[in-house]
């Protein structure tokens, strides 16, 4: 297809504003899929995604549309992960497009994720087509939604197209707008092939299947191509597109979207955002490539020690289709053998844990998540630390920087006070408050990433009884008074509970942990002291008193067998206990506290 008849676009929306329904409707009306297939053809693949109403990954879909002007266009819908945890992946997907449909629920209006996604799309200079969806709902307020578009996002309201993806209203208008408003792809003027690798998945038979957008030249089977960042060259085996099932094509030309296979065995050989070019006659790389780095870290351990190998293999499989997930083995005195894992953000962490549990049936426990701190040492060097175990001694530390995020919180007016208090509690600073409509405001705040990891989202939901929404984007680093909090049992540290926290929070957290540990650590023949310590200073202390006797009062002939079995069971249980110093603690105790 000539570039003038190609349009590449994506759909961005807040959760539940109707992105998936609209995608399906577009596929249907262009005849890409039949109605009867719609149920199975939903773009969201994983249960988990459907449950959470978000799409993590979907194939780009190629549709053919005969416009009112009588011409047929190739429309490529490039899906985005839809959450800023995957900001880089989103930005790569968006950079494969020239335009984006920004879907807003007419009954809900602009939400936090609408704002965050809009920012990402406008950074890529995409043409935005606002779509006001669900106009069939009784509470729909198109006028208000349009007003918010102008006020919050500075998007002219006359651009907006009212629609109901569910009822099929306004779909043709959207398709026409895509043809008319989204600019056609333009060749870059480079001498040869330039294609952007913006996603990939692993196929057992074909190896890595890479999603590409051709920016310049063309790509066909048999061609030798080079991936500029990985530096590796491959012979292209197969070229194709999705409708939404994969189908092979002779070639992909400038402006087109699809996939290639090239016998690539390891997903890590294809970096997201890499440029694919002609190996014999290479062109320059496309802009915007970044190495992705995990932002959030946590230890993941099998609850049953014997599952270590199974967990390792599950993580390997998971990584095949999630190259952003990083893991390496680590050991903990309390939890045994496990893995230190890196994630793009909190949602990513949750998704990986859930997938390990559901898809791989692993029984796992995760340690307190940590972010990456920049530790400036007295010798002038800087060390990045994501694991409290590797925190340098206080005397060597000059200052510590922690990652910050800009959060957007949208909440009903009556909750402003509570929301401000929550942000303050989370060490955040509100820098902007904006009235969205008669009943809602949007707060923009700078908050340490570390503070939103644990319960920020849940607290917003509970304060606003479900009406609030939150999203965030990375916003650099800032100096911060961070300390390492250690939990000690009779003077010995319990590594699984060490964490890096702000000094103002350390004592409270230490006290809460000590109290919980006191409940779960079994009594021993001696008193057990549980302490929270910052450096050498004890900030909280609890004691598990010694048990003063352990003897069955009544034991005669008929009791011996039962009693023996009981003692044998206890003895077995003690073998499985973790011994920290001289204190025996069942692994279940650690798990209970980590779960709480």
Partner 1 sequence: MSSTTASVRSLYVHVPFCAHKCEYCAFYSEASSGELINRYVGALERELELVAGTLRPQTIFFGGGTPSILNLKQWHQLLHTMDRLNLLGAAEWTVECNPATVSLDKAKLLRDFGVNRISMGVQSLDERLLERLGRIHSREQVFKSFDTLRAAGFENINVDLMFAIPTQTMEIWHATLNEAFALQSEHLSCYEVIYEQDTPLFAQLKAGEFDVDEDLAYDMYETLIDRCEQSGFFHYEVANFARRAGAGRAAPRPVLSDPEIPDFACRHNVNYWRGGDYHGLGPSATAYIGGLRTRNWSNTPLYCEQLEKGKRPFETREELPPLQRAGEIAAFGLRMTAGWPFEEFQKASGFDLRSEWAGQMSELVNKGWAEESPVRFRLNRQGLRFADSAAEMFLR
Binding site for partner 1 (CB under 8 A): 525, 547-558, 560-561, 563-564, 567-568, 570-571
> Is the preceding peptide bond at 155 cis, omega within 30 degrees of 0?
no
Distance CA 249, CA 239 (A): 6
Partner residues linked to 507 by β-bridges: none
Partner residues linked to 199 by β-bridges: 211
Distance CA 149, CA 147 (A): 5
Distance CA 302, CA 310 (A): 9
Output 378 or 570, the one with its CB closest to partner 1: 570
Those residues whose C-beta lies under 8 Å from the C-beta of residue 425, and which sit 6 or more positions away, are: none
Distance CA 316, CA 384 (A): 25
Minimal distance, residue 317 CB to partner 1, in Å = 43
Minimal distance, residue 525 CB to partner 1, in Å = 7
Integer angstrom CA distances of residue 301 from 123, 315, 324: 39, 12, 19
Angle at 329 between CA 323 and CA 334, to 5 degrees: 130
Distance CA 546, CA 544 (A): 7
Say if strands 233-235 and 207-216 run parallel, antiparallel, or are unpaired: unpaired
Output 424 or 555, the one with its CB closest to partner 1: 555
Output 44 or 542, the one with its CB closest to partner 1: 542
Neighbours of 592 (CB within 10 A): 15
User: What's CA 164's distance to the chain center, in Å?
Assistant: 29
CB 353 within 8 A of CB 366: yes
User: What's CA 591's distance to the chain center, in Å?
Assistant: 24
Output 393 or 550, the one with its CB closest to partner 1: 550
Minimal distance, residue 585 CB to partner 1, in Å = 17
Integer angstrom CA distances of residue 433 from 112, 144, 196, 420: 13, 18, 38, 10
Distance CA 43, CA 46 (A): 9
CA nearest 213: which of 152, 260, 180, 175? Answer: 260
Minimal distance, residue 547 CB to partner 1, in Å = 8
Distance CA 163, CA 560 (A): 78
CB 217 within 8 A of CB 273: no
| Residue 203 buriedness (CB in 10 A; 0-12 / 13-18 / 19+) | middle
Partner residues linked to 500 by β-bridges: 484
Q: Which residue in the block uniquely carries the two structure tokens 């009112």?
A: 68
Those residues whose C-beta lies under 8 Å from the C-beta of residue 283, and which sit 6 or more positions away, are: 188, 190, 191, 192, 193, 194, 216, 217, 275, 277
- Read off the tokens for 582: 């001289």
Burial state string for 375-404 with b = 16 or more CB within 10 A and e = fewer than 16 = beeeeeeeeebbbbeebeeeeebeebbbbb
Partner residues linked to 402 by β-bridges: 478
CB 487 within 8 A of CB 510: yes
Neighbours of 28 (CB within 10 A): 18
């Amino acid at each position: 297809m000539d570039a003038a008849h190609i349009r590449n676009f994506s759909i961005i929306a807040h959760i539940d504003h109707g992105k998936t329904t609209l995608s399906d409707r577009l596929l249907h009306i262009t005849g890409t899929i039949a109605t009867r297939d719609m149920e199975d053809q939903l773009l969201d693949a994983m249960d988990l995604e459907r449950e959470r109403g978000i799409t993590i990954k979907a194939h780009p879909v190629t549709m053919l549309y005969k416009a009112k002007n009588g011409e047929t266009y190739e429309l490529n819908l490039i899906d985005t992960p839809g959450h800023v945890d995957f900001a880089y992946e989103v930005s790569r997907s968006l950079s494969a497009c020239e335009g984006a449909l920004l879907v807003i629920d007419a009954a809900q209006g602009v939400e936090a994720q609408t704002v965050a996604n809009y920012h990402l799309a406008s950074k890529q200079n995409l043409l935005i087509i606002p779509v006001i969806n669900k106009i069939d709902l009784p509470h729909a307020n198109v006028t208000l939604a349009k007003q918010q578009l102008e006020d919050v996002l500075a998007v002219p309201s006359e651009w907006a197209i009212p629609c109901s993806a569910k009822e099929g209203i306004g779909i043709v208008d959207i398709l026409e707008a895509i043809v008319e408003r989204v600019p056609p792809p333009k060749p870059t003027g480079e001498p040869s092939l330039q294609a952007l690798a913006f996603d990939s998945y692993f196929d057992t038979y074909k190896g890595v299947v890479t999603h590409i957008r051709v920016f310049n030249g063309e790509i066909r089977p048999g061609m030798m191509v080079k991936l500029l960042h990985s530096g590796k060259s491959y012979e292209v085996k197969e070229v194709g597109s999705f409708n939404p099932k994969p189908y092979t094509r002779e070639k992909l030309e400038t402006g087109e979207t699809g996939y290639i296979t090239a016998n690539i065995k390891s997903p890590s050989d294809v970096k997201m955002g890499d440029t694919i070019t002609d190996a014999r006659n290479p062109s320059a790389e496309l802009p915007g490539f970044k190495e992705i780095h995990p932002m959030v870290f946590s230890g993941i351990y099998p609850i049953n020690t014997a599952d270590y190998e199974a967990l390792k293999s599950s993580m390997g499989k998971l990584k095949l289709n999630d190259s952003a997930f990083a893991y390496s083995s680590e050991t903990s005195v309390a939890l045994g053998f496990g893995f230190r894992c890196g994630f793009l953000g909190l949602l990513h962490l949750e998704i990986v844990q859930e997938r390990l549990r559901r898809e791989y049936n692993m029984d796992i426990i995760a340690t307190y998540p940590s972010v990456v701190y920049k530790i400036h040492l007295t010798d002038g060097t800087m060390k990045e630390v994501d694991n409290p175990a590797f925190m340098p001694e206080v005397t060597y530390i000059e200052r510590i920087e922690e990652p910050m995020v800009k959060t957007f919180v949208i909440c009903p007016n009556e909750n402003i006070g509570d929301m401000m208090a929550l942000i303050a509690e989370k060490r955040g600073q509100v820098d902007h408050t904006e009235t969205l409509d008669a009943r809602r405001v949007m707060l923009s705040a700078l908050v340490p990433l570390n503070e939103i990891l644990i319960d920020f989202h849940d607290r917003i939901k509970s304060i606003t009884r479900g009406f609030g929404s939150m999203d965030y984007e990375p916003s650099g680093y800032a100096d911060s008074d961070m300390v390492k909090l250690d939990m000690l049992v009779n003077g010995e540290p319990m590594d699984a509970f060490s964490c890096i926290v702000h000094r103002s929070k350390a004592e409270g957290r230490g006290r809460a942990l000590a109290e919980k540990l006191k409940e779960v650590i079994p009594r021993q023949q001696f008193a057990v002291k549980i302490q929270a310590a910052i450096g050498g200073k004890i900030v909280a202390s609890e004691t598990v008193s010694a048990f003063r006797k352990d003897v069955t009062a009544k034991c005669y002939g008929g009791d011996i067998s039962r009693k023996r079995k009981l003692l044998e069971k206890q003895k077995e249980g003690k073998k499985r206990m973790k011994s920290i110093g001289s204190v025996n603690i069942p692994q279940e105790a650690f798990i209970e506290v980590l779960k709480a």
